[in-house]
Amino acid sequence: MRLIGRMRVTGILVVIIAATVSLQSQQAPPQQAQDAPKPEIRMTSTQAKELFASVDTIMQFASDDSKLAIKSKVKRRLTSRDAVEKYLVDKMKEDKDAKRMERSEIVLKKFGLIDQDFHLQPFLVSLLKEQIAGYYDSKTKTVNLLDWIEPDTQKPVLAHELTHALQDQRVNLEKWEDASSDDLSHNVAEDNQHIATDEQDTAREAVLEGQAMAVLVDYSLKPMGQSVISQPDLVKAKADEQSVDADSPVLQRAPLLLQEALLFPYREGLKFEVDLLQDKGPGGAFGGVLDRPPATSFEIMNPRAYEARVKVPLLKMPDVHPLLDTDYAPYDIGVMGQLDVRILAELFGGPQTAAALAQSWAGGVYYAVQKRNAPDKSSTSSISLLYLSQWKSPEAAAAFARMYADELAKQYSGVTRDVQTESDEGEQVFKTNEGPVLISTSGKSVFVSESFDLTLARKLEFLMMGAQQGNDQNQAIALAHPNHALTGSMVNFFAGCGLMRAAIPHGAARLY
C-alpha cells in the first residue's frame, strides 16, 4: 500500500552498533539513574571545523566500501534544531508523499490500521522532531550536520548520509525516487497502471536506506577489523532486533503502522543488502541494485527472489467504473503488499500470525471510493472499499478471513453476524454502523467489501474474481512499469526526511 511514504531522513543507527559491542566482547557501562534534562549544548567552532574536515575522509570510506564513484565534492552545512524543524514542517506542506498520507489517512482508519480518533499529521511532526539525526538534501546536494550533536557521534551518521550523496551522483535521486504518479485514476487502464507501480517507491527507499546502513555498519565495525560481509548473520540478527526504546517516547506512542513504516527501509533494506553483498559483492549490491532496483516489498523481503527475477504476485483490476461512478468518486487504489499484510496481521493477530501469513501471501489489491453525497467527507463512513487478496494455500486464505472477521468489532460499532443473508458457506456477512461488510473465501482467494450494499458487493466480487483468470501475462506486462502501496507513502516520507534515531544501532553514543 502506498500509505507509508517517502522521507530522506537519517538517524536510526541504535541496533546495529550493538554488533560493535558484541564483537568487542565488551559490556556497556551500567546505566545511571535518570537525571533532570540537561540544557542543550551547541557545538563549538573548533568541533564544527573538525567535523567539516572529516566529511571528505568519510565520503572516501563510503566510496571505497560501496564501490560507488565520487564524481563531485559534497556541500556541507551546519544547521540548528530550529532550522531542522522548519525543514520538516515545510516538507510536510510540500512533499507529495505527505500529501498522499493526508489523503490516505481515512483509508488507513477504514482498514483499522490506525484508530478513528488518531490525528496523523500533527503526530508526524512531533515524531520527526524526535527522530531526525541527520540528512542529505538531494535538491541542494548538501549534507546537513547538526550543531547540537558531538562530532564523534555524527561520524557514523555521516557515513550513512554520504552514501546517499554517492547514490545521488550515480542515479540522480530526485528523478530515481520520483518515478510514480499520484494522480487519481478514473478508468480501468489508469487503475491497473497504479497497481502495477504501487510499491516501487517503498522498495527503492529500502534499497537506499539498506545500502546506507551497510556502509554505516562497516564504518562502525572497521576498528575491529570486521564488516557486514565477515559477520552477515550477526548483522541480520541485530537488524531484526531494531525496536522502539525508552529514549523515543513519541515513537513509543506511535501506532504499529508508523513504527513499522519508519523502521522498514532500514531493517529490511539492510537484510536485503547483506544477502546481495554475500551473493554479488559490493559492485552488484550497490551499483548493480541501483541500476536494476526491486519494485516491491516482496522482493525486498525475499532478496533471492529478486536475484532470480521471480515474478511478483500482481492482481488485476476489472472495470468497476460503470458500477460505481454514478454514486461514488474514485478515492484511492493500490497494492496490499507483503509488508502491508505483515503489519495488518501483526496488529490483528500478533507477531506469530503475522510471520505465518506474510510468508503465505500471494498478492493483494484494494480500491476505495467516496460517496458523492456523503455529508462528512472526512469520516470513514464516507468511504467504501473492496480488497482482494490471494494466498499460497486455501488454509492460509481461511486463516486470514477468520482473522479479518474477528477484528471488525475494533473497526466498527454495532457489529453483528448476519447469517440469514449469507449466500453460501464461503461467505461471512456482518452488519456495522457504516453498512454491510462481506468477507468471501473461495479457494486461495479472499474478497472483502466494506460499506457497499450486498447486491453491489457481490457484483464487484464477481468482476474481481473473474479478472484474475489467466493473469500470468498481465503480471509480466505490469511489472515492466513498476509505482507505491497502502503503507508506501508513509515509508517513503519517513525515509525522505533523513536518518532516524531508531535505526541507529545500540552501542553508539547517544544522539540526544
Look at residue 302 and tell me if it is in a domain: no
Range of the domain at 178: 9-26+41-285+488-503
Beta strand 132-137 with 75-79 is unpaired
**How far apart are the C-alpha atoms of 189 and 193, rounded to whole Å?**
6
For residue 433, the surrounding DSSP H or E stretch is none
Closest alpha carbon to 398 in 360, 424, 435: 360
Nearby residues of 369 by Cβ (< 8 Å), 6 or more positions away: 324, 328, 329, 330, 331, 383, 384, 385
Same domain, 273 and 347: no
* One-letter amino acid for residue 481 of the chain: H
**How far apart are the C-alpha atoms of 312 and 197, rounded to whole Å?**
12
Written as one string, the DSSP assignment of 284-328 is IIIIIHHHS---SHHHHH-HHHHHTTPPPP-------HHHHTTTE
Closest alpha carbon to 14 in 242, 213, 249, 265: 242
**How far apart are the C-alpha atoms of 427 and 337, rounded to whole Å?**
24
How many domains are contained in the chain?
A: 2
pLDDT score at 34 = 42
Same domain, 265 and 402: no
505 and 11 Cβ atoms separated by less than 8 Å: no
Look at residue 297 and tell me if it is in a domain: no
pLDDT score at 291 = 97
240 and 267 Cβ atoms separated by less than 8 Å: yes
Closest alpha carbon to 63 in 307, 282, 378, 292: 282
Q: Is the dihedral of CA 168, 100, 367, 393 positive or negative?
A: positive
Look at residue 298 and tell me if it is in a domain: no
Same domain, 231 and 355: no
Written as one string, the DSSP assignment of 239-288 is HHT----TT-HHHHHS-HHHHHHHHHHHHHHHHHHHHHHHHHHHHIIIII
Nearby residues of 50 by Cβ (< 8 Å), 6 or more positions away: 151
Same domain, 405 and 493: no
pLDDT score at 2 = 42
Q: Which three cell numbers stand for residue 318?
A: 476489472
Same domain, 224 and 94: yes
Same domain, 136 and 207: yes
**How far apart are the C-alpha atoms of 273 and 211, rounded to whole Å?**
6
**How far apart are the C-alpha atoms of 221 and 24, rounded to whole Å?**
10
Q: Is the dihedral of CA 17, 22, 25, 31 positive or negative?
A: positive
Look at residue 34 and tell me if it is in a domain: no
Task: Decide: pTM greater than 0.85.
Answer: no
Same domain, 280 and 336: no
Same domain, 493 and 388: no
Residues of the chain with pLDDT under 70: 1-40, 96-97, 178-185, 194-198, 243-246, 313, 470-495, 499-501, 504-512
pLDDT score at 134 = 81
Same domain, 330 and 256: no
CATH number assigned to the domain comprising residue 354: 3.40.1000
Look at residue 295 and tell me if it is in a domain: no
Beta strand 142-146 with 132-137 is antiparallel
From residue 497, alpha-carbon distances to 60, 414, 494 in Å are: 24, 41, 6
135 and 161 Cβ atoms separated by less than 8 Å: yes
Same domain, 220 and 349: no
Question: Taking the CB of residue 142, how many other CB atoms lie within 10 A of it?
Answer: 16
**How far apart are the C-alpha atoms of 115 and 118, rounded to whole Å?**
5
**How far apart are the C-alpha atoms of 101 and 232, rounded to whole Å?**
35
145 and 79 Cβ atoms separated by less than 8 Å: yes
Strand partners, 383: 370
Same domain, 122 and 149: yes
Look at residue 31 and tell me if it is in a domain: no
| Alpha helices, DSSP H, located in 77-119 | 81-94, 96-111
Same domain, 75 and 96: yes
Rounded-to-10 torsion of CA 371, 377, 381, 382: 10
**Strands across the sheet with 328-335, in order?**
328-335, 361-371, 383-391, 445-450, 437-442, 427-431, 416-417
Q: Which three cell numbers stand for residue 212?
A: 546506507
467 and 98 Cβ atoms separated by less than 8 Å: no
**Local structure of 347: helix, strand or coil:** helix
Look at residue 32 and tell me if it is in a domain: no
Nearby residues of 497 by Cβ (< 8 Å), 6 or more positions away: 7, 8, 9, 88, 91, 128, 132, 135
Give φ, ψ of 455 to 5 degrees: -60, -45
Look at residue 508 and tell me if it is in a domain: no
pLDDT score at 19 = 33
